[in-house]
Structure 1
Amino acid sequence: MSNKKVKALDLKVFKRLMKYSKKYRLQFIIALVSAVLLSGLAVARPYLLLYAIDFAIEVKDKPKLVYFITLMFMLLLVESFTRFSFIFIANQLGFNIIKDIRMQLYKHMLNFRMSYFDKSSVGQLVTRVITDIERIASFFGQGFFMIIVDLLTMLVAIIVMTVVNWRLAIINLVILPILVYATQLFQKAVKVSFKEVRLQAANLNGFIQERVTGMNIVQLFNREKIEYKKFYDINNKHKKAWVKTVLYYSIFFPIAEVLTSIALGLIVWYGGFQIIAEETQTTIGEIMFFIMISQMLFRPLRQIADKFNTLQMGIVAGERVFEIIDTESHIDANGIIEANHFKGTILFENVRFSYVNNEEVLKGISFKVNKGETVAIVGATGAGKSTIINLINRFYDINSGEIKIDNKNIKEYTIPTLRKNVAVVLQDVFLFSDTIYKNIVLDKKISLDDVKVAAKEIGIHEFITSLPNGYDYNVKERGVMLSSGQRQLIAFLRAYVSNPSILILDEATSSIDSYSEQLIQDATDKITQNQTSIIIAHRLTTIQKADKIIVMDKGLIVEQGTHKELLEKDGYYSNLYDMQFKKEAS
């Protein structure tokens, strides 16, 4: 935790949250009016009890007693209906607001640079979108409006007490500042504690998300005990944060209860002696009234402390959510050109790029891909091959230089236009938990018949129909029901049906069976035919068929040419070929 002074309530975040209620002004007004009515109705019943005791029971007037009891019953019904309306409307308002905030947050995240997700924990982002925003709903439904009810109830109670018997009112008003001070200390301490709770909860979510996703690695490398120990430490920190919060509650509520009991004891002692001594006009009804009204004065204050914590948790959650909403991590989308189709010429001119400052991945590379050409990029791991894919799609923006498509800087195109015309098949294929058909079309208006025709054209229709339910087969989360080769075939078809102007393939076939490899090779030959294509080459067949080969090493292009030309140079490519591809050829 930082050493900054902790505010009991961050007004800046509070005001920002309240702005979202403007859209639901009617619900806000109804909740506010209900809060005012509840404060008056709560004090009315003890006041009627005073009259029932002093003007009916004391004088043995049965009709008046029935009248007061009936009136109290009717007030109880009105209060119950008002409370129902208040709770329903206040919570409905809260959920309407979090729906809007969640949509704003998710829309904002959809346009983040890839670099933001590279540096962020998935578990923590999930916590922001789900758990933290739920806390904001409680801010409205169980925090803000409930506190208004309690504060108004206390205010009305103080006014009515003073009117009924100012001497007895003084007793409560002397105890009240002490309880208010204790409440303030409690609120400040708990805000620090709740921040720690939310931090540890986010860490816990992030840890679990990452380990569940990578459970095969955990088990493969016998890390069960190590990961269990790490989880124990994180879980223990989360527990300690909550225990610290519980400690503050355990200290505050007994203190509040003792102070309340002292106030009630003093009222009975002082009022009782006044009646016995017959020194004032104090009545038994007034004492009963003050016993009830004291509860309405002190109990709301104790509840305010609890509800203030709900309010604070909503504020803390709001801080975290607004931190993401305020994050400027978007690709500059200033392009205005909307191209329906690219001719397919790609030009890199002295392009420099780094994922991390001062650590260049591309060090001033230049090359050209002509319309309809198939260009293979080869090189050792870390040479910068995959980075080229990311830059053409503008997942990242370059540090300097220029990337052009059809002789126009890619920044001049709108991002949707650019990405619509460039199809990418990555080595690690991601599929959603849905049917094969929906994973292929991704909600584009492409009919199932058209998808089947495309599947037949690239030779994978038979593979899909062999699966249970064929195109309606649900691949489950991340496509776990399919092999890596099958997932890549689905990705090939997904790229093919989108009818792209430019095709980029990360042609990784090292970990798949020979049948899938042959299907992928046939699909590659089909979809790259007369198509501007860039292929990160892993197989000899791709290299030999390419119109041009770009050889990369440590962020630089060291050689360019055809397969035959590069072998004749007896340079970097020739050595790479001997090490990586000659064995395959033999």
Structure 2
Amino acid sequence: MITVEEEKLGKIYDSRIIKRLMSYLERDWWMLVVAGSLGIVLMAGQIALPVITQRAIDRHIRASARLLYLSPQQAEKHAKFVYPIEDSLYAVPQERLSKIEPRNFADSLNYYLMDRKKAAQKGIEGYRPAGKEKLLVPYEDLSKFESKVLTFLRSDDWQGVIRLGIFFIVIVFIRLIASFAQIFLTTVAGQRSMHRLRTGIFGHLQRLPVRFFDRNPVGRLVTRATNDVEALSEFFSEVITSFFYDAFLLLGLVIYLPIYNWRLALVIFTILPPMLAATIIFRRTIRDAFRKVRVRLARINAFLAENLSGIKVVQMFHQERKRLGQFTDINESHFRARFSQMMIFAVFRPLVDLLAVVVIAAIIWFGAGWILAGPVTIGLLTAFISFAERFFEPIRDLTEKFNLMQQAMASGERVFMLLDEKQETYKGEAKISRIRGEIEFRDVWFAYNDEDWVLKDINVKIKPGERVAFVGATGAGKTSVINTLCRFYEIQKGKILVDGADIKDIDKQKLRSGIGIVMQDVFLFIGDIKTNIRLRSEIPQQKVKEAARVANAAGFIEKLPRGYDAEVAERGVNLSVGERQLIAFARAIAFDPAILVLDEATSSVDTKTEAIIQDAIHKLLEGRTALIIAHRLSTVRDADRIVVLDHGRIVEEGTHDELMARKGTYYNLYKLQFEHSI
């Protein structure tokens, strides 16, 4: 069954979730601050590299000038950057042309401003002087000089290119270090935060009431602490890192490009409306596709879990082919949903690339005309082509990181919904140094759901050291008595007293430490036998062995190759039912509780094993208050008192002989099990 929760999609960006995630940074917040600052460094480096390229081209590689007629006002205003030729004719470097309006060109040629002293050293004459220090040489004449001569004449240009090249390499190296530091800091901060979050989830889960686990499958809760936290981890390591870089780069380009050259910046910005429209459409369609993939993946997980859990039934009734067909249908549905999702990406990513190519083509088209007209240089055009490519980087990142952002917000919402579940309250006001074992149920009413009462007006008083058995048909309320005594569930009416104190006033840890429970379905943890007996507490090894001896478990444990260090597999599957039960008894003895609860403790074992366990029970119950829940009525004959439950009410109470003499409910139950002996 697919829950509505699996179909929910959070916002692409949810400030509440981000704020709560940031709270897990604790003392590592400075790492994200530094990473953000490094984003500014990376942005500056990305913008600086095309600028260096432009200056290398315009000032050194293709250092050209044009002849213009300037008015006296223009000549005075730009006196530092222009070279007088004659009267109102001036040589103006190409990169300064955009500053002069209007422009009155004398011709269409490009000129090179050659150093007059170096030209004299090589005997170069016949060119018009430009100012006091330069000669005006047509650019096409440079090809007439020998290579060595040209190298000498343009030595300043070579030195300028080398200086800018070194500066270029230094910036690249700084960007490399900054990028490494940014990724390292965000990853470390993210992983530490996720470590705290996982620990917090596990600790929180352990303190949630049992009622919570009744309505939430274990698989879903495991997913919260694993898959969902992993999605948030990827958000830190991938999305946050990209955000610092992309956000600052996009902001930097939007601010800097109009200042650098508003004409070419306008060409780039004209693509924003169609790009924005395409992004909005993409966001809407990909959200729906993402939801469909999640739902179908959840169906696959649910089907696999169900099939593997019931594999014996599947094989017993020869359902392999039918189940494979059902899985194929579900898998095919997932494939189609995933394929649709990939198609959306397959359309949007090339569309972004196409728009980028269109922008670059437009820059070249308009830039070429502006080069001829004067306001744009070849270096500037080259720089803006690089800027256009950088401008689309954040948009491409959006397509690649969208899934991660969507997943992280959805996962974050589910994780924090779990963490917002109210925990059990453990503290109590009653002062009890050690539980003696007196128990009283006084007018107790209890229901798991609303007023569907499972226990109705229960009144029982049990003295310290007394053995009381609770019997009845399935659903009579026997296990509910134990659940309410241990405060796994809270009663709605009445009181349960332990040693005269209301259990609601007793600290839960104190209460439960005084109660030992041995269930029908014994749960063993992965590890070894001694760890499963003392449950990682400080119980000494000698006490563990003594507990095993009293519980009749020492015999089979010491026969194992590694004894008490013998490995226990998941849920103890490498041990028999009886062996697991004996370990559970040893565990109860090791913790020495004043109250012992046996819930169907011998219902799943053979007669021989039951005899061993019964002997262990007799040793275990000595000096302790005991509540015994049993279907096998033969196991309760020795109880001091037997309480008979029927549909949540106490219908009979007394010893075995007394109840048999009354020939009531207990007599009928006993007769059903042992009719041949009555």
TM-score (structure 1 length as normaliser) = 0.94
Does 2:21 match 1:20?
no
Deviations 1:408-445 (A, max 9, x none): 11111111111100000000011111101101100111
Question: Residues 546 and 581 from structure 1, CA distance in 2 versus in 1: closer, same or farther, beyond 3 angstroms?
Answer: farther
Q: 1:325 aligns with which of 399, 419, 439?
A: 419
List gaps (5 residues or longer) in structure 2: 64-153
Q: Return the letter of the residue paired with 1:17.
A: L
Change beyond 3 A, Cα 1:230–1:11: farther
1:490 aligns with 2:583: yes
> Which residue type is aligned with residue 122 of structure 1?
V
- Alpha carbons 2:518, 2:601 under 8 Å: kept: no
Q: Which is further off, 200-209 or 51-60? A: 200-209
CA–CA separation in structure 2 for the residues paired with 1:35 and 1:112:
42
Cα distance change, pair 142–233 in 1 and its aligned pair in 2 (3 A): same
Q: Deviations over 1:488-509 (max 9, x none)?
A: 1110110111000100002343
Q: Where in structure 2 are the equivalents of 1:131-530 lying within 5 Å?
A: 131-275=227-371, 278-328=372-422, 330-337=423-430, 339-530=432-623
User: Closer, same or farther in 2 for the Cα pair 1:24/1:491, shift >3 Å?
Assistant: same
The answer to whether the 8 Å contact 1:50/1:285 transfers is yes
Q: Distance in 2 between matches of 1:401 and 1:232?
A: 54
Aligned partner of residue 49 in structure 1, secondary structure = helix
Change (3 A) 1:487 1:38: same
Partners of 1:387 and 1:394 lie apart in 2 by 10
In structure 2, the residue corresponding to 1:533 is in which secondary structure? strand
Aligned-pair CA distance for 1:533: 0.2
Q: Separation in 1 of the partners of 2:249 and 2:346?
A: 25
Pair 414,568 (structure 1): closer, same or farther in 2 beyond 3 Å: same
| Cα distance change, pair 308–361 in 1 and its aligned pair in 2 (3 A) | same
CA contact (8 A) 1:349 1:367 kept: yes
**Counterpart in 2 of 1:120?**
216
Within 2, Cα distance between the matches of 1:146 and 1:457?
63
Which residue identity is paired with 1:317? S
- CA displacement 1:196-238 (0-9 Å, x = unmatched): 4445444544443454344334434544445445544544454
Counterpart secondary structure, 2:490: coil
Instruction: Indicate the SS of the match to 2:636.
Output: helix
Offset of residue 549 of structure 1: 0.5
Deviations 1:447-479 (A, max 9, x none): 121111222223221121112311111120010
CA contact (8 A) 1:362 1:555 kept: yes
For 2:489, what is the secondary structure of its paired residue? coil
CA shift digits 1:526-564 (9 cap, x unpaired): 101221001112344432210001111121111100001
Q: What residue identity is the alignment partner of 1:125?
A: L
Is the alpha carbon distance of 1:199 and 1:183 closer, same or farther for their aligned partners in structure 2, counting shifts above 3 Å? Answer: same
Q: Distance in 2 between matches of 1:480 and 1:314?
A: 37
Q: Distance in 2 between matches of 1:5 and 1:381?
A: 42
Q: Give the match's secondary structure for 2:525.
A: coil
Contact 1:6 1:192 in 2 (8 A): no
Q: CA deviation at 1:52?
A: 1.3
Structure-1 separation of matches of 2:541 and 2:453: 45
Looking at secondary structure, tell me which structure has more helix per residue: 1
Summarize the Cα distance change of 1:345–1:22 in structure 2 as closer, same or farther, 3 Å threshold. Answer: closer
Change (3 A) 1:216 1:32: same
Q: How many angstroms does 1:109 deviate by?
A: 1.1
Residues 1:220 and 1:518: Cα distance change in structure 2 (over 3 Å) = farther
Q: 1:42 corresponds to which letter in structure 2? A: Q
* Aligned residues of 1:503 and 1:531 also touching (Cα < 8 A): yes
Paired position in structure 1 for 2:629: 536
Give yes or no for the alignment of 1:83 onto 2:179. Answer: yes
When structure 1 is superposed on structure 2, of 381-390 and 417-426 the one drifting more is 381-390
2:167: which partner in 1? Answer: 71
Matched, 1:33 2:129: no
Do the aligned residues in 2 keep the contact of 1:124 with 1:202 (CA within 8 Å)?
A: no
Change (3 A) 1:300 1:458: closer
Work out the CA distance in 1 between the residues paired with 2:37 and 2:312.
57
- The answer to which of 52-61 and 407-416 deviates more is 52-61
For 1:545, what is the secondary structure of its paired residue?
Answer: coil
Deviation for aligned residue 1:521: 0.7
User: CA distance change for structure 1 residues 235 and 432 in 2, over 3 Å: closer, same or farther?
Assistant: farther
* 2:390 partner amino acid: M
Whether the aligned pair in 1 keeps the contact of 2:282 and 2:348 (CA below 8 Å) is yes
**Cα distance in 1 between the residues matched to 2:565 and 2:675:** 42
Q: Distance in 2 between matches of 1:287 and 1:91?
A: 38
Deviations 1:174-194, CA, capped at 9 Å, x for gaps: 012321332233234334443
Question: Kindly tell me: are residues 481 and 236 of structure 1, through their superposed partners in 2, closer, same or farther at Cα, counting changes over 3 Å?
Answer: same
| Distance in 2 separating the partners of 1:236 and 1:388 | 48
8 A Cα contact 1:348 1:403, kept in partner: yes
The amino acid across from 2:261 in the alignment is N
- In structure 1, give the amino acid aligned to 2:667: S
Q: Larger Rg: 1 or 2?
A: 2
Cα deviation, 1:282-325, whole Å, max 9, x if unaligned, reads: 11111111111100001222213432442232111101111111
Paired letter, 1:267:
I
Measure the CA separation in 2 of the matches of 1:196 and 1:140: 25
Cα offset, 1:281, TM superposition? 2.4
Q: 228-237 or 159-168: which moved more?
A: 228-237
Counterpart residue type for residue 18 of structure 2: F
Please list the CA deviations of residues 233-276 of structure 1 after superposition, one character each: whole Å capped at 9, or x if unmatched: 5444544443333232122112211111110111111111232x
- Percent identity between matched residues is 37
SS of aligned partner of 2:429: coil
Structure 1, unaligned runs of 5 or more: none
Q: Calculate the aligned-residue CA RMSD, in Å.
A: 2.3
Tell me which residue corresponds to 1:108: 204
| Aligned residue number for residue 95 of structure 1 | 191
Q: What secondary structure sits across from 1:83 in the alignment?
A: helix
Is contact 2:25-2:189 (8 Å) kept? Answer: yes
Displacement after TM superposition at 1:45 (Å)? 0.9
SS in 2 for 1:72: helix
Query: Separation in 1 of the partners of 2:606 and 2:415?
Result: 45
TM-superposed CA distance for 1:50, in Å, is 0.7
